[in-house]
Structure 1
Amino acid sequence: MNFISTLVQWILTKLRITWLAQRLLLRTLVAGPIPQHVGFVMDGNRRYARGKGKLVQEGHGDGYLALRRVLEICLRLNIRCVSVYAFAIDNFKRPQEEVNALMQLAETKLLELCSHGDLLQEYGVKLNVIGRRSLFPESVQAAIRRAEVLTKRNSRSILNVCMPYSSRDEMTTAVEDCIREALVIEDAGKDINDYFMCVYITEDTINSHLMSVKRGSPPLDILVRTSGVKRLSDFMLWQCCENTHLHFSNTYWPDFGLLDFVPIILEWQRSVWFKRQDILFGGSRISR
């Protein structure tokens, strides 16, 4: 992260930013280019809980409050789509007590988030739960269906809650869908030469069948992982392969907020401005 972003973060910390200052700051940021899609690997809930002398379940509860806080910041910035890594398929291997607590949290908080007058309704956010949902208990699946129904008419923004999710599973499912779609042609009695032409699968074909893309998500501009861990942990690997800015924050997810996010947005805006200048001046040099 560059010197200017670090300096801004230091100044904001010293000012202990007020509610009014937050609104002014967000309005200033909106005056510049804004990413359309930001993803978060919400990491560090358990280590946060241990550091505070809390139960792991309480750490996950505080992580939900952080999600609400960060989501509202994104919505105020007019970010079109937010994707969060809420539960990995591999998380089912955790202690059963923790998994049960997470299932209960998901069941109650999904409906709370989508209830009348709450955050998603206020900002017109459509909720998508992306992942192999059949692995969840039926009660959680029912809560997911109801939450999605409550927000299906919202069109201003998108919240992708990825659970139970893995990028490898998303890519595998996309390829399976491509093949399944192509095989329908054979059943339709097409000429064999036409059939082989139609089963030709490109990157664009696979991309269009990704769960997130099918739900209307734009390309991923920024991916943030909290807690100081510097790996992607099988989250949106396909989406991250081109033009995505990766940021690894040392802050645990329950503590992550505006002061952590502002430098990330500033860094992204700086790169966009430089890219635009390169295009502008590069084009001028070519025209000469």
Structure 2
Amino acid sequence: MTLALKIIKTGHVPKHVAFIMDGNRRYAEKQKKAGIEGHVEGFDKLAETLKWCRDLGIIEVTVYAFSIENFNRSEEEVSGLMELARDKLAEQGICIRVIGNLSLLSEDMRKLFAEAMIITENNDKATLNIAFSYTSRDEITHAIKDIAVGVKHADILPEDVNENLISQCLYTYKSLNPDLLIRTSGEVRLSDFLLWQISNSCVYFTNVLWPEFGIWNLLSAIFYYQKCYSDLQRIAKVQQLKPIIEHNDRTSMYINKLHHERQVMIENIYLSTVQS
């Protein structure tokens, strides 16, 4: 294993990897266990995978933990997932960012996430982005709404709207786009996950169920990324040939204002936790 890690690290290792952690329920059925036990083992697998990523030099991981569509599942399964997320979040020792529509969550879940983000925000060894109550369409919709409000209040003008501005209004504005997206369980679809951000990312599908995902599966995905790296670099060079659109002072002020408002919202939720 040590030799395999050394060999992989002689090539270009992605800095940011995203995971669609699929197959927890099918794993539980396969093992003749309760559905929630599959999710428990899935969260345990995430902790193990994060360690592998750190060993490889991957400094940022984004995981699809809970889609907005998951609210359509049974109340028992949804509440079980919420409790599991609440318990497991406290175990992480890295910088945690929760991306998603937090307004759809209960007050105690919002407080939990705000506390995790504030307490870990200065940790700089690695970053874990947890997409919770998330879909890409919802993310882009909220970005467009924020931009519309900015235009309405004359903070920005219609001609200021471009790809760069939209990117800065997404939930992921603090992150670079993923280099590699991995989906487990054999499903070959993106399930409304990071659709804006992965337009030039390497995408790797594997048949293994998420709780059975192992270090060799991760190394295989990274090796696949390395084989695709020259093509990714060629695409990046083409992108660099496009005219660079710099933010003007007006747009920069609007972006800073928006980011500040989002940070204050999280801090206020956290303060309500401390004061209660």
What is the TM-score of this pair, normalised by structure 2? Answer: 0.80
Query: Once the two structures are superposed, what CA deviation does each residue of 1:40-98 show, in whole Å capped at 9, x if it has no partner?
Result: 10100000000000000100000001101111111111112110000000101101110
Structure 2: gaps of 5 or more residues = 237-276
Quote how far apart the aligned CAs of 1:245 are: 1.0
Q: SS in structure 1 opposite 2:14?
A: coil
Distance 1:78 1:144 in 2: 26
Q: SS in structure 2 opposite 1:160?
A: strand
Quote how far apart the aligned CAs of 1:259 are: 1.1
Q: CA distance change for structure 1 residues 72 and 167 in 2, over 3 Å: closer, same or farther?
A: same
Does residue 203 of the first structure (1) align with residue 163 of the second (2)?
yes
Quote how far apart the aligned CAs of 1:277 are: 9.6
Among candidates 9, 13, 31, match of residue 10 of structure 2 = 31
Quote how far apart the aligned CAs of 1:135 are: 1.4
Q: Report the aligned-residue RMSD.
A: 2.1
Distance 1:48 1:203 in 2: 40
Q: CA distance change for structure 1 residues 275 and 105 in 2, over 3 Å: closer, same or farther?
A: closer
The equivalent residue for 1:270 is 227
- Once the two structures are superposed, the pairs formed by residues 235-254 of structure 1 within 5 Å of their partners are 235-241=193-199, 243-254=200-211
Distance 2:234 2:161 in 1: 36
Q: CA distance change for structure 1 residues 184 and 266 in 2, over 3 Å: closer, same or farther?
A: same
Q: SS in structure 2 opposite 1:86?
A: strand
Q: Answer with 1 or 2: which has the greater Rg.
A: 1
Quote how far apart the aligned CAs of 1:181 are: 2.4
Quote how far apart the aligned CAs of 1:157 are: 2.1
Query: Once the two structures are superposed, what CA deviation does each residue of 1:151-189 show, in whole Å capped at 9, x if it has no partner?
Result: 111123211000010000111111112222233326xxx
Q: SS in structure 2 opposite 1:106?
A: helix
Among candidates 43, 47, 54, match of residue 64 of structure 1 = 43
Distance 1:38 1:70 in 2: 11
Quote how far apart the aligned CAs of 1:199 are: 4.5
Q: CA distance change for structure 1 residues 142 and 278 in 2, over 3 Å: closer, same or farther?
A: closer
Distance 1:156 1:173 in 2: 30
Distance 1:266 1:69 in 2: 19
Distance 2:103 2:163 in 1: 27
Among candidates 149, 157, 163, match of residue 180 of structure 1 = 149
What is the TM-score of this pair, normalised by structure 1? Answer: 0.77
Distance 2:164 2:208 in 1: 36
Does residue 127 of the first structure (1) align with residue 96 of the second (2)?
yes
Q: CA distance change for structure 1 residues 240 and 49 in 2, over 3 Å: closer, same or farther?
A: same
Does residue 162 of the first structure (1) align with residue 131 of the second (2)?
yes
The equivalent residue for 2:91 is 112
Conserved in 2, the CA contact under 8 Å of 1:36 and 1:218?
A: no
Distance 2:105 2:3 in 1: 42
Conserved in 2, the CA contact under 8 Å of 1:44 and 1:226?
A: yes
Conserved in 1, the CA contact under 8 Å of 2:18 and 2:63?
A: yes
Amino acid at match of 1:133: L
Query: Once the two structures are superposed, what CA deviation does each residue of 1:125-174 show, in whole Å capped at 9, x if it has no partner?
Result: 31001001121122222211121122111123211000010000111111
Quote how far apart the aligned CAs of 1:276 are: 6.5
Conserved in 1, the CA contact under 8 Å of 2:202 and 2:228?
A: no
The equivalent residue for 1:143 is 112
How many aligned positions are there? 236
Q: CA distance change for structure 1 residues 201 and 50 in 2, over 3 Å: closer, same or farther?
A: same
